[in-house]
């Protein structure tokens, strides 16, 4: 898997418009993939967080009334959480939105595939930053063994360094995995 292949496969129209949704709160994340041997950036939330405590996720968060659209939310949150500034023109695509099981969010994932990134710095909303080799990570996918997680839709898990990625983040990763024959 090469960066150019990723760019080609994951490129899609970016439609960051806000759709009112009475059932879910709006949020967005940024899937950042970089490097010659593609690496994906993910974070671990601190255990004291109100939502998704201790979970492995993509940088991002809930829509703020000051944000012009969901892409601005993802870019702002990525900058705040890990100190990475990505511009709108560096966003090459958008994946299908996913919902969270417990916290009631509708999350729109945006994708940025870039050659390199600077050193990252976590803020108080991030316990750890992971730089995960993408191809071997995607190969760890298995069906989620917890039947209560399959209420919304079919669920999966991924594993990295004894950390389990599940829920909305895993459904986003599955969309990426489905784009490729590994």
> What residues contact 37, with CB distance under 8 A and at least 6 apart?
1, 133, 135
pTM, full prediction: 0.91
Q: How far apart are CA 96 and CA 44, in angstroms?
A: 22
What percentage of the chain carries pLDDT values higher than 70?
90
Q: Which alpha helices (H) appear in 83-166, and where do they start and end?
A: 134-138
Q: Can you give the pLDDT at residue 61?
A: 94
28 strand-pairing partners:
61, 108
Residue partners of 68: CB distance under 8 A and separation at least 6: none
pLDDT at residue 154 is higher than 90:
no
Which is higher by pLDDT, 154 or 124? 124
Q: Which residues contact 83 (CB under 8 A, 6 or more apart)?
A: 118, 120, 121, 122, 123
pLDDT of amino acid 23: 85
Q: Please check the confidence at residue 151 and state whether its pLDDT lies above 70.
A: no
Q: Supply the pLDDT for residue 53.
A: 67
**Residue 181 reports pLDDT greater than 70:** no
With a cut of 80, say whether residue 62 has pLDDT above it: yes
Per-residue pLDDT tens digits for 71-122 = 999 999 999 999 999 999 999 999 999 988 778 889 999 999 999 999 999 9
Which superfamily is assigned to 3-137 in CATH?
Answer: Nucleoside Triphosphate Pyrophosphohydrolase (3.90.79.10)
Q: In whole numbers, what is the pLDDT of the chain averaged over residues?
A: 89
pLDDT of 54 strictly over 80? no
136 vs 37: CA distance, rounded Å: 11
Domain boundaries, the chain: 3-137
């Amino acid at each position: 898997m090469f960066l150019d292949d990723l760019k080609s496969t994951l490129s899609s129209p970016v439609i960051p418009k806000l759709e009112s949704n009475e059932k879910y709160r709006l949020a967005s994340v940024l899937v950042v993939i970089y490097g010659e041997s593609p690496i994906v950036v993910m974070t671990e939330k601190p255990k004291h967080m109100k939502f998704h405590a201790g979970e492995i996720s993509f940088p991002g968060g809930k829509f703020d009334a000051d944000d012009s659209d969901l892409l601005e939310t993802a870019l702002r949150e990525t900058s705040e959480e890990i100190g990475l500034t990505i511009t709108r023109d560096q966003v090459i695509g958008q994946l299908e939105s996913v919902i969270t099981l417990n916290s009631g969010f509708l999350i729109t994932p945006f994708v940025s595939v870039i050659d390199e990134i600077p050193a990252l710095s976590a803020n108080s909303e991030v316990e750890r930053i992971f730089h995960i080799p993408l191809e071997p990570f995607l190969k760890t996918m298995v069906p989620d063994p917890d039947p209560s997680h399959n209420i919304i839709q079919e669920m999966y898990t991924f594993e990295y360094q004894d950390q389990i990625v599940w829920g909305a983040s895993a459904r986003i990763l599955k969309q990426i995995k489905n784009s490729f024959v590994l």
